[in-house]
Structure formats: C-alpha cells, structure tokens
Structure 1
Amino acid sequence: MHRVAEILETTPVEQWRWVPSKLNVADGATKITDQTQQKTWITGPGFLKAESSHWPLPTKQESIIDTSEIRKHVMTTRSRSAVTFNAHCFSNWRRLYRAVALILLFVDRLRAKLAEQDMPAATMMAHVSKAKMLLYKQSQAIAFAEELKALSVGAALHRGNRLVGLNSYLDNDGVLRTRSRLNSIDIAEDVIILAPGCRITNLIVRSFHEKYHHLAHETAINDIKASFYISRLRVLYKSVHSTCYDTRATEKAVREQLKNIEHDKITIKFDGIKWRFNPPGAPHMGGAWERIVRTTKGILKNICPNYSFNDEGLRIALIEAQFIINSRPLTFVSLDTEDDAALTPNHPLLGSANGYKPLPKEGMYLQRRWIETQRFWDRFWQRWMKEYATVLTRRTKWFEKVPPITIGSIVVIVDELLPRNLWLKGRVIETMMAKDGQVRRVTIKTQHGVLERPATNIAVSDVGLEDGN
C-alpha cells in the first residue's frame, strides 16, 4: 500500500502500462496456478520483448491504475453537543444553579485572562440568570425536543401536540415560553414551560415548597404558576409534599408553637389566633362542640342525677363520659356479621371502638408489626372517606333562604326566660352576614343599651323604615 502510494506520487500516470492478469508473473508468489512460472518469474512476460506498440491495452472495464490498496481517507464531522449538568447530583435548586453559575464564572475568568483583561472575582447576577436559563433549556431539550425543533424553524405545532393550546414560542434566549394575554398589558411576563417528570422541575417545585416553610400549599402553587407552566402541577406538588423529609418535622413544630393561654373573666389572649365568640343566647352557633357539650351534660346527669361532684369525682365522671361519647357510631351500623363495625371517634384515638387492642402475634418482629399497623390505618382511611366523609355533605334543614334582616329594622328580642310582654324592642344598627348571604347575628340598640344577638332570636316587626323615612 505504501509503495503504490509512493509510485503514484513520484511518477505520472502516462508512464504506466497495463499487464493482464493471466500474464502477471507476480501471481506466482501469491496465487496457486497450474502453470510453472519459473522462467517468466525471472524474465517477465513475453510481450516485453516486442515493440511497445504491440503491448496489450486495457479494456473499458479495467483501469490502468489499481487503487484497491490505496488507503481511503474518510472525513467525518461531528456537531458539538451542548454541555449538560447532572441535576440528580443535587437535592436543592439553589445549589444547582449556583454550581452552574460558578462554572460560568470560571469560563469568564479564562476568557478575561486570554484577553489580558481584569478577571471577575465572584459570581454576579448575570451569571445566576444565565445559569437558570441554561438549566431551563436543558430541561426543555429533554422533554420537548420535537416542539423545539419545529418552533426553531418557524413551523407550527400540529393539532394533536400537547403544547398546541399554549401559544408557545422561543424567546431571545431560546427558552420555551407560553404567551399570555396579560403580557399585552404589561402585567406579567410570559411563563416558562417545564415538564412535570424532569428532575430540574422537581427541584424548582421543592424550592417553592421550602420557601413557604412546608405550609401554605395553595399559596406556593399560586406562586409557581406566576413563573412556570407545569402540567399536572397540583399532582406534582402533592408528590413533593409527601416525599419531603422536613414536612413532618415542620408540622410537628406547628401542634409546639402554641403559646400559653392567658385568660380571665374579661380577656382571652392567644398569639396568632383571631377569636370569634358566639353572641349571647346562641349555643347552636357553636355547631359540633356545643352538641358535644349537651351530650356530656346529659351523660353526667345520667351517671349520677343527684350527686354533687367534688374534683376527683368530676374527673372520673368526665373520663367515663369521654369514653361513651367517643364510642358513638359515626356511620351506619350494619347487622350483617360480614360487615365491619361502624366507625367511631375511638378508632383513630384507641384503634377500636372499645379501646381493645389485640396482642401481637408471637414471634412478630418490629418491622412486620409496623407493616400491619400501616395496613390498619390504610383500611381505616378508606372506610373513613367512603362511609363518613360523604355524610358530611348532607343537609337536613334550612333548605330555603329567608329575607335577610336589614339595618334600621324594628325587631323584638326573643328571651325564653321572660314573658312575651317583657321582651325588649329595638332598632338594628349593624348586621353580620355569612358566606351564604344570610344574616347570622345583629347589633340592636335598645332602651337598655346596645345588645348583640343571633338572628334566630330576633323577630322582625312589620313597622320600620320605609323610603328612607
């Protein structure tokens, strides 16, 4: 191969002549032939003794130059791929983009050194912004490769594409965004599109989760939507919340942030809580807890109708009342033996309706016992959502709305402890309306002063203001 190449470089093609394969004496050393080539091996083929004009000429199918052993130079080109960052090595969004910003700082320092310019000493806002853009583009290049290819050449997305309804486009940095109507009035910047299954997206959502200290989930989701469009965001945020190690510790530190309650006959103080009191004579507005108070009173009366409790006796009686109340069924009591027992408040408190806990099986190790406990609570939760949660949406009274009490109405305050001819009369000076548009409590100016009463204890008189008079 090297000899052929050297001959081709040092001699012109016109000096070459052709030797047919059957007359090639070199084949005697490399091929097995029936003819003896001892003579031609030394003297060469016989046509060399004739005039050169009688030498054989190559046919059209054959070439004078045999290039079969010439080395072929194959030129290949490879496009330079973008640098990718392994986001799985990071568990925090800030640490990830700060690490990328340090790489960009290093590149800028090298360029400044080659140009004999002053080198930057620390990362700047430009490095951080560029680092975030690079990470956004890396995330999009993995999840939206086809969409980026189409948008980069100005082509429209096909009708079945997942981004066709988002009015997506590429900004000046090559980042995929969705064009919002709010941009036309300069209220908000177009948000960046991210895929929910990407590690970078997961870290971004986790950063918002940590920003709000593992609380205020709806606020965090609303904040994310202001900067990013992530499909199935609520599902992703729920997954981040459930896998967050610090969430449980945070929630536990909240039932611990309770301050001491300072109370007396006049004031009750509790940091961070806005107290709302029922108006006098309206125990029904207490809802569930007032119903429990009534039940407790009834149980105490039935335990000992004529007994005057001391401290110890009252404590024992209240414990008994507590057990009875928490043993009440919350769901339908089935008489079928194959059905489970009705759910009671004692189930989440004690594990069963009566507080009985079966002894662990002999030889059951700790991990197995923990698995059995998880199965029990999973079963309880399924029953709770199926059998009890649906009952909470039922409404048994107050189906029809009544005209709300208005300011200026002349009313009579119902007081069951007084005869009707002694019930106070007055004028409504303030009303408090609930979310359903109904007035729940009113402030009344009477001859004995200003009183606050529930709307259920108010009787509106036919006389009052009319046409502003």
Structure 2
Amino acid sequence: MLNCQSEVFHEEICRLRNGEEINRKSFLFKFSPYLDQIGLLRVKGRIDAAEGVAINVKRPIILPRKHDVTRLLVDFYHRKFHHHHNEIVVNEMRQRFCISALRTLVKECAAKCQTCRNRRASPQPPQMGDLPMERVSPFTRPFTFTGVDYFGPMDVVIGRRREKRWGALFTCLTTRAVHIEISPTLSTESFLLIFKQFVSRRGVPKRIISDNGTNFRGASVLLVKEIERISSDDIERKYPAIEWIFIPPASPHMGGSWERMIRSTKSILMDILPDSGMREEVLRAVLADIENILNSRPLTYVPLDSAEDEALTPNHFLTGHSSGIRELTDNTNSGSALRQNFKISSQLADQFWRGWVKEYLPCLTRRAKWYQPPANPIKLNDVVVIVDENSKRNSWPKGVVIDMNFGKDGQARSAVVNTVNGLCTRPIVKLAKLDVEVEKRGVNVMHKTA
C-alpha cells in the first residue's frame, strides 16, 4: 500500500513529510490527510473519541481509485463474499479504507468478474421470424396444415375404478379451427387410431407439425411405412404422402398455434370438470362442446365492412356459420336447388376467405416480441449454458455449439450442443452464451443452413 500511495500521491506525501500543507487543489485536501507511524496516508477523522473501535474505522487508509492494488482489494472482498451483495463489500471496505466512488468501483468489479458474468448469462433471442407458409395460406381446405399436441390427463369413472384419459388437439394452422379427440394412452398405436378418426372427419392433411414426442415420432415412421406398403396409383391420388415436421425439443414458442388452443381448452375444463371425475361419454360430450366454443371464437374484433355483421370465426370455414349450426333455407331436393346451394356455398367460402385476407391476415403482421436481432448472436464453437426451467440454475448443463440451423431470414433458430452427456438440439432462446473461448483442436465443424 505504501508503494501504491507513493505512486499516485507522491507530491502530497512529500509535503506532509516536510511539515507543509498540501495544495488546496489536491484531491486529498478535503480528507485532512496525515502520515501514520509507518508512513501510510490516513484520513484524520472526527470520531477518535469512540471507544472500542479499531483504528482503521476511526482513521481509514486512503487508496487511489484507479490503481491496480485498489482493484485487487475490491476483487478480494468480492470473492470473499461469494460474488453476492455489493453493499456488503462496500460496507466491509469502508471500515478499513477510504476510496472515492467505492460503490461504483465495486459494481464495475462485479461486472468484470467472469464468475458473475457466467451466472448472469441469459439467452439472447433472435428476431421473431416470419410466419411459415402454413399460417398464411388462404383458399385452402381447413386442416390442410395441421398442428397436433396432447393435454391432460383427465380422470374418468369406469365402474368402480378410475382411469386417466388424455386429449389430442388438432388445430388448423391457417383458419385456427380445432378438433379434439380422447386418447386412452400416450402410445403410438393409440395416436394412430385417433389420427384415423381425425382424417375420416376432417380429411387428409398435407402437412403436420408437432413437437418431438415419442408417440408422434413413432406415428410418423409408421405412417410412412404404411403408405409405402399399400401404395398404388389410386391410393396415392386419394391419400397423398403426409409431410411431418418436428419442432426442436424444448421449444414451445415454435408451437404457439396449438399451445394457445390447449390453454383455452384447459381454462374451460377447469370450470367444467368435477373433482370426483365423470364417465367417459360425458367427457367426450364436454370436449365436443369445448371444440364448438373454440371454433365459434372471433378471429378479429369486429368486421371491417359493418359493425352489425358477425366477425369471422373458424366455424365459418367448417360449417358456414359462426355458431356451427347452418340454417336450411330451402327444403327442395331437386337437382337445380342442389346446384344453386352448391354455388351459394362456394360463394360463401370465397367470401369468408376474402374476409380472412382482409381482416385477420393484417393482425399477424406486427411482432409481439423479439423485435430486433441480437447484438451478439451465438456462433459456432461458442460455449453456452442450456436453460432448463425445471431444474436449478447451478445444475444447467454447459456445452459447445457444433452445428446451427438457420431460418430463411438468415438468423439462427436452433443449435446442436455437445455436452458431457452427448449431443442435444435446443432452440436459440434456450441457450445462454458464456463469455469464454473454447480451445480448437482440429475439430472439423460443419456450418449447416436450412
């Protein structure tokens, strides 16, 4: 400390040794400094009368703020208190030292601490991507592009025993219509039976998007094998191959289309389901009622043409009416009446789709969050920590990014991370970049775009 003070306050120390007053323009003038018996600069305070108080509290040692010794002392106290509570560090140091702007210096030290930076590391989400083609494809049959997920379980009463049932929710990504089925298990075989019921009522979808559930993975493989086994010209024309797309693991924001519908379904179920359970047929009727309620919800606030007209709903594309019940205006069974009704239905469908383009599609333009690209995006060979909301932060796994998947806008959307437990794929919003570098040892890393 003597060398530290002599380097910065050399002129003041020389004056004090010669018995002279220090310059009034000096930084130390207001501290009334003096030299103790070993030559340290101390503050001549006003609390010498206090008994039982250490000399360092009464007359603290003066240290320059921008010297390396001062920074090392602050770093020592910062580590001594385990990188927490800057105010404790400030309080402890003030009992021994007099340092100008000490609180700011402690904050600067904490900001530069590598351990603290790793602890505070948080994901930097990329700019919200453009909506996929499945969300903005007008004049297509409902459920041409479908998202699917499970919810539950729900208790049902069968005789004297209680069993669990799950709900399988299919949602049209374009019209936002929903279709709900009951599943006795979460197996692939059970899902295939549910999927067959869905196709029989809503038609064969062109593309299905889901998360990485094992039942969906199994269903995708089985569907491909089944189509290959029974393929013929007639069947291929009637049931074209279904494209199945899986979103990255632990990325519910990429499946918001069906996650939001499941939330609405659960909200209604919470008000309906009794605590004692219900019969399976009652649960089936309840889910059918919920399906109709969700399909009757307005996609927009009010129609643009007239406030008296009804707002556009998914039921308009399914049944031609917002309530799902279409009134018959003509009971004639003649061919001309049927042709006339067919023309009216076609005109109504075109009218609904024009309303969808004019009223609903503009509502999807603005981003709800993640407005700008990150300033420091994740790159190959970056060391990252994988965010897991279901575990404590100090147990989150760390790894090195070895591969990245990019969207059409050129921004990274997911990455393959090499951890001690193997490779895993996670979305960028679940990866927090650490301010460390990984040593390159001739590893050939491929740069993947999609």
Whether TM exceeds 0.5 here: the answer is no
Q: TM-score, normalised by structure 2?
A: 0.41
Q: TM-score, normalised by structure 1?
A: 0.40
Q: In proportion to residue count, which structure has more helix?
A: 1
Bigger relative contact order (CA 8 A; separation at least 6) = 2
Larger radius of gyration: 1
Q: In proportion to residue count, which structure has more strand?
A: 2
